[in-house]
């Protein structure tokens, strides 16, 4: 069984108590989360520590960062043990009704060829629309 310590160490992050605590909180999220969600989930940890930890985690590819156009940055846990190549990244779905961003884990970003000389490092693919819960409400 993989411990949080092992996961952090594997990604080159020293597993301090507060980082383990934050990572544990992140594991409760099934889809993307914002800095604000993490603040609520961790309760006693101050904002700047959370911000620094999320940035560190993202730098070490424990997290994916998503710009969904909502104005606040979203993150999701990376389940790969190495830095995802562009082909391994998954798409996200932004619900315009409840403003949640969902991970489409099984939908990889479709391959886009770049002209000679352009080296892709990262890609984001956001689909916008209505999530199942909001669609159900609309039809009730
Ligand atoms: Zn990844
Ligand atoms: Zn929704
Ligand atoms: Zn995701």
Residue 30, pLDDT score: 92
Residue 66: what are its φ and ψ, rounded to 5°?
Answer: -130, 130
Could you list which residues have their CB under 5 Å from ion ligand 1? 78, 80, 84
- Residues in the chain where the model's pLDDT stays below 70: 1, 140
Ligand nearest to the CA of residue 134, numbered in listed order:
2
Residue 140, pLDDT score: 66
Cα separation, 83 vs 121, in Å, equals 10
Residue 139, pLDDT score: 75
Number of domains in the chain: 1
Helices (H), the chain: 4-10, 17-26, 35-42, 47-59, 132-139
Residue 111, pLDDT score: 86
Range of the domain at 89: 4-138
Cα separation values, 105 from 14, 20, 102, 108, Å: 28, 24, 9, 7
CATH number at residue 68: 1.10.10.10
97 CA to centre of ligand 2 in angstroms: 5
Residue 101, pLDDT score: 97
Residue 69, pLDDT score: 87
CA nearest 14: which of 25, 24, 4? 4
Exposure string for 53-65, b = 16+ CB within 10 A, e = fewer: bbebbeeebbbbb
88 CA to centre of ligand 1 in angstroms: 7
């Amino acid at each position: 069984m993989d411990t949080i310590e092992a996961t952090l160490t594997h990604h080159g992050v020293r597993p301090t108590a507060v980082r383990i605590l934050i990572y544990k909180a992140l594991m409760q999220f099934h889809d993307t989360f914002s800095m604000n969600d993490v603040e609520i989930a961790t309760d006693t940890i101050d904002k700047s520590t959370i911000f620094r930890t999320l940035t560190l985690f993202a730098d070490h590819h424990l997290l994916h960062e998503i710009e969904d156009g909502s104005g606040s940055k979203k993150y999701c846990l990376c389940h790969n043990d190495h830095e995802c190549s562009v082909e391994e990244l998954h798409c996200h779905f932004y619900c315009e009704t409840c403003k949640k961003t969902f991970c489409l884990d099984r939908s990889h970003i479709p391959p886009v060829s770049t002209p000679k000389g352009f080296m892709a490092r990262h890609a984001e693919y956001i689909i916008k629309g209505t999530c199942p819960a909001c669609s159900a409400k609309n039809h009730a």
